[in-house]
Amino acid sequence: MNLVIVESPTKAKTIKKFLSKNYKVLASQGHLIDLPRSKVGVDIENDFEPKYITIRGKGKILKELKDAAKKANKVFLAADPDREGEAICWHISRALNLDQAQPCRVEFNEITKEAVKESFKNPRQIDYNRVDAQQARRILDRLVGYSISPLLWRKIRSGLSAGRVQSVAVRLICDREDEIDSFIPCEYWSLNALLEDEKNGSNFKVEIDRHKRSKLELKNKAQVEDVAAAVRNEKFIIDKITRSQRKRHPLPPFTTSSLQQEASAKLGFTSRKTMNLAQQLYEGINIGSGETVGLITYIRTDSTKVSIQAQDEARTMIENKYGADYLPGKPPEYKTRKGAQEAHEAIRPTSIMREPDLIKQHLSRDQNRLYKLIWNRLVAAQMNPAVYNKVRVNIKAGGYTFKANGSNLRFPGFLILYQVDNGDEDAYLPDLEEGQDLKLLELIPDQHFTKPPPRYNEASLIRTLEEKRIGRPSTYSPIIETIQSRGYVIKENKAFLPTEIGIVVVQLMINYFPEIIDIDFTARLEEQLDEIEEGKHERLKVLKNFYEGDFKDRLEEADQKIEKVEMKPEYSDETCPHCSEHLVYKHGRFGRFLACPAFPECRYTKKVVKETGVQCPRDGGMIVELRTKKGRTFYGCENYPDCDFSLWKKPLPEECPQCGSLLAEHRKSKETLARCSKKECPYEHNLEEQEAAAGS
């Protein structure tokens, strides 16, 4: 009997069906051995030697594995194909006293019968470079966390923590808030002209050319009125028409980062939800007839590479289902960012032939939505680009140039399967000729103000972390969870705002531990960890350079110089119904709330309710913003749950002119719509156009 050890029970159950009766498959349920939680667990004086222990509660599992290993002819370690998986295998091999010279490590990128069986034909030794890279990261994080966190407890308050990567993420959010606070809006104007092509009676808009070369300034109303006066009685003549074609290429297959970003944008999933669902799809789903199989490849990757077999399957599918016009002459190639792990593949379906609709009945709604997103992205990535006919028209009037861009889709290409944001797509233009006169119907001046950069949401924060090389694919979701659970940031309207405690901690880190919170320094450290994995750098050298370079001295200096920070409570006008104290604002995992300052003697708390200004149509109460148990925002009566009126979309203070129901705010691409909340009613209108009309 041979023993196979994997991490999760689900993965064990799936793999067991692919192997013969001569194999017993058990799960370690993650790490069994780690640094102790009660102390640093690193012997700094002895070359940073880690002091590992069996994780509390895992002794029974380890004993079961040891007993099974004694009876086995061979032991195979089949944890995930990354640093963490390699470290799990290394720890287990030592605990089970396996011969380190023997090839016991099996690795597969997808949990399918073919991939699993092939991996057992070619076991290898444990990769100690990978193990060293994981240990270096673990020790660095432990040195930072267990050295700075107690300092924060003493100087600010208990329960705080400082992490090597999480602190940088909080700094990004704080820096963005500083940019927003210091932003000074600048006024500028645009001038559009509504023109008529009298040949066919069609109307279209053109915009005055404000390119730098024209040196035209429209900074205030007086300037735009001067230009309007100069062209109002002039002829509008087409000066030049440029026709061209533009290709829009498909997006590459998913990496961990791009999957989380796209699932957030298209499906509204948090990074945690995306990774949980992806893990389920990876480890195995019963798709009928007793067949349990992994539906997607390994989910922690930064590579866009796809196997030749998967490309061939996708090309066959494209030709059979969509036709030869959609199939490029050769498979497209996509660049993988610098430092990506090229040994891995992108996230893709394990079989292109498992179309989403064919297995839909075996998946939960959200599993199916994520699987369909992954399937569509992979197949679309192997298709021909979309082709647009583009028209650029320059129109002269009174010494000024107006311009219009038009386009129409000539060939959909990959867009037939995977829609992308077409916010830059131009409007339709009629068939025009150079030298043609056009009739001016209306001049439309419009005032604008420059806007500050937007706050980070989950997708944009993950994208920034990846671009700046902060963390790894497996760490993005835990980082986002940690900075919220510690109360350093809160999420409002899906955007991150730093809390007062988050701002204080970041400023303290900048003053006393500038390297830890420096984006470039953190990225360079990440590169060094990659180099350890590649065998180009030594673990001990990286650790010594970090600790003995500046960190040790800064710790001693900070402990002496940092004074106790007094966090002043923010009082509200409301009083506690139990002890009449003015309630104070606190920050929790699900945002702000009110609490009695007499805690712990008085434990009264109250939600901070956001009013919408709209009355409930059932009982006349105020409709307020509420949250589900999972943190999802919805809108309901303030008397909820006694009054169960609720909406997923924000209600508007106006009734539907067709049926009298409430209108609610909907976002569609870059438009904001007022749409009837009654499903059967089709009424909707564009809110921005309505506001613009009201303003004029």
Q: Annotated catalytic sites, by residue?
A: 298
Nearest to 380 by CA among 426, 343, 334: 334
Determine the residue type at 122.
N
Q: Compute the Cα dihedral for 208, 210, 214, 215 and give only its sign.
A: positive
Contact 405, 205 (CB under 8 A): no
Nearest to 260 by CA among 250, 272, 248, 252: 272
Write out the DSSP string of 226-281: HHHHHHTTS-EEEEEEEEEEEEEPPPPPB-HHHHHHHIIIII---HHHHHHHHHHH
Using a 10 angstrom Cβ sphere, with 0-12 exposed, 13-18 middle and 19 or more buried, the burial of residue 577 is exposed
| Structure tokens, 561 | 């110089």
Contact 295, 371 (CB under 8 A): yes
| Structure tokens, 394 | 């320059």
CA neighbours closer than 13 Å in the CB half-sphere of residue 240:
6
Rounded CA-CA distance 344/81 in Å is: 8
| Structure tokens, 477 | 């979701």
**Residue 306: strand, helix, or coil:** coil
Beta-bridge partners for 570: 585
Contact 449, 187 (CB under 8 A): yes
| Structure tokens, 539 | 């673990």
| Structure tokens, 444 | 């439309």
Rounded CA-CA distance 462/548 in Å is: 31
Q: Which helix (H) or strand (E) holds 458?
A: helix 458-467
Beta-bridge partners for 497: 490
DSSP code at position 265? I
Rounded CA-CA distance 614/619 in Å is: 12
Determine the residue type at 347.
I
Q: Which helix (H) or strand (E) holds 524?
A: helix 519-533
Rounded CA-CA distance 467/453 in Å is: 17
Q: Which helix (H) or strand (E) holds 68?
A: helix 59-71
Beta-bridge partners for 174: none
**Mode of pairing for the β-strands spanning 437-449 and 236-248:** antiparallel
**Mode of pairing for the β-strands spanning 23-27 and 2-6:** parallel
Write out the DSSP string of 615-627: E-TTT-PEEEEEE
CB neighbour burial string for 669-679, b if at least 16 within 10 angstroms, e if fewer: eeeebbbbbbe
| Structure tokens, 347 | 């996230």
Q: What is the dihedral of CA 67, 72, 76, 78, to 10 degrees?
A: -50
